[in-house]
Amino acid sequence: MIRYRLAEESKYTGMMKEMAISFGGYYRFGDAFSPSVEFEYSSFAIGFAYDMNVSGLTAATNGNGGPEIYLKFVNPNPFKSGRGTKSSARFR
pLDDT for res 68:
93
Calculate mean pLDDT across residues 87-92.
51
Look up the pTM and report it. Answer: 0.65
pLDDT in tens, 32-89: 889 999 999 888 899 999 988 888 777 777 777 889 999 998 776 666 555 555 545 5
Calculate mean pLDDT across residues 3-9.
84
pLDDT in tens, 14-38: 667 788 999 999 898 888 889 999 9
Q: What is the three-state SS of the chain?
A: CEEEEEECCCCCCCCCCCEEEEEEEEEECCCEEEEEEEEEECCEEEEEEEEEECCCCHHHHCCCCEEEEEEEECCCCCCCCCCCCCCCCCCC
